[in-house]
Amino acid sequence: MRIALCVLLSLALGLAALPARAEEPTPPPAPKPDPSKALYISESLMPSEKNAPEGWELEDDDSGFAAIEDKLIAIGEGLGLDDDSFYVQLQAFSKGGANVIAAMVDVDKKVFAYKHALTAKATESGWSVSDLGHPGRILVISGSGSTVGELEKALHEHAIYALTEMAMNRIRGRGGQEDVGRAAAVKYTRYIESIAPGAGAASAVRGVVHWIQSRKAIKKQGDKPDRGEEEKAVKFFGKAFADGTKYPPKGSVRVWAAAQLGGILLTWKDKSKLDEATRALEIAVKYEKDGRRMSQRFESRYNLACAYARAKRVDDAFKMLEKSLEVLKNMPVRAWRNSHKHAEEKDEDMAPLRNDPRFSKLMEDFRPPAPKKKAH
């Protein structure tokens, strides 16, 4: 026992003599991502196989990439650009036996110096070079014949709609940075308009931004949205859906913009705007599968039923009301109860339908379950 104690004492003294280990410094917190920026790595403007331009196929053969990529990288290296400020993505396309290689270049520093050097290299190599909505996003196409111009046009159109979705992602992914997200979305519309001035897709995003701004005034039940911001939203939505608009909205922004345009015009209760509201809501319902939220699907259908009812299109109103209730029954019970009660008892737009026996039957067929009574 004494020997063991001596050994333990010796070990303790030896350990005490050792120099104290310096505490490792706490690593700094990772910076929050800037929602105003998009990285090619996560948000590429290059189409995937499922959304390749019509008539074009993506090829797996990358044998021709090296010669182009080496030249593009050499320009960047010559200007001292590193991997953090310079990125190249290549893809081979084919159509009707013609093979074309497209490169999308992302340059964050020394943009104009790079573009100047690239222009000289493009002339030497026979490349077609154009901007992709941002001074530092450049499209380079290597090939021959009319297919080069066709692919360039197709990739520009793809970039317009890809940038539109990026803008909508900034709006949707706010995460407590609502103002930053909206500012980023507006920045993306400028990129779109630099490719195609007057593009309807850009106008639709701007309209959504103003629509959200108009709702910032609503803090409690009974508050009204900002009318000035609503008017701006309607102005941009009108441009987006005007006849002959270049690159009209597609995807989720089309559904959102059409639904909000119709909804705003209905709340204004301006009879002269009823046809425009109806057309917008018909678009929202037609393309509702492109939307992200079930509640939006219900609101578009219900608002369209209201528009039909106001126009005394009773049969159409009943058909759309039933379709809206079919969605409503799959929503949370509380929302189901509130919306059902509003339609059955309060909504003035439903007045032309209430004396028709079809109305009471629909309300009964889609009546939500009654709240459970609390046990005493």
- Within the chain, residue ranges assigned H as helices are 2-17, 65-78, 111-125, 146-172, 178-195, 200-215, 227-240, 251-268, 274-286, 294-310, 314-328, 333-341, 351-354, 357-365
Bridge partner list, 142: 101
Asked if the structure places residue 82 within a domain, the reply is yes
Rg (CA), the chain: 30
Can you give the pLDDT at residue 221?
64
Can you give the pLDDT at residue 376?
59
Asked if the structure places residue 162 within a domain, the reply is no
Low-confidence ranges of the chain (pLDDT < 70): 1-42, 174-177, 220-221, 375-376
Domain finish residue from 107, 123, 152: 152
| Position 24, amino acid | E
Integer angstrom CA distances of residue 310 from 254, 319, 349, 356: 24, 14, 6, 15
- The 8-class DSSP code of residue 133 comes to E
Q: How many domains does the chain have?
A: 2
Q: Which residues of 132-148 are buried (b: 16+ CB within 10 A; e: fewer)?
A: bbbebbbbbbbbeeebb
Instruction: Tell me the C-alpha distance between 259 and 119, whole Å.
Output: 44
Q: Which residues of 292-317 are buried (b: 16+ CB within 10 A; e: fewer)?
A: eeeebbbbbbbbbbbbbbbbebeebb
Range of the domain at 363: 293-371
Domain finish residue from 134, 152, 170: 152
Can you give the pLDDT at residue 140?
94
Can you give the pLDDT at residue 216?
85
Asked if the structure places residue 256 within a domain, the reply is no
Q: Kindly report the length of the chain.
A: 376
Asked if the structure places residue 300 within a domain, the reply is yes
Can you give the pLDDT at residue 48?
87
Can you give the pLDDT at residue 26?
53
Domain finish residue from 92, 126, 152: 152
Instruction: Let me know: does 255 contact 232? Beta carbons within 8 Å.
Output: no
Instruction: Tell me the C-alpha distance between 113 and 116, whole Å.
Output: 5
Instruction: Let me know: does 181 contact 35? Beta carbons within 8 Å.
Output: yes
SS3 call for 141 = strand
Asked if the structure places residue 164 within a domain, the reply is no
Instruction: Tell me the C-alpha distance between 195 and 202, whole Å.
Output: 11
Instruction: Let me know: does 209 contact 188? Beta carbons within 8 Å.
Output: no
Asked if the structure places residue 242 within a domain, the reply is no
Asked if the structure places residue 170 within a domain, the reply is no
pLDDT tens-digit map of 255-293 = 999 999 999 999 999 999 999 999 999 999 999 999 878
- Given the structure tokens 């639904």, which residue do they identify? 259
**Token pair recorded at residue 223:** 């508050």
SS3 call for 248 = coil
Can you give the pLDDT at residue 22?
44
pTM of the model: 0.81
**Token pair recorded at residue 171:** 């709006």
Asked if the structure places residue 147 within a domain, the reply is yes
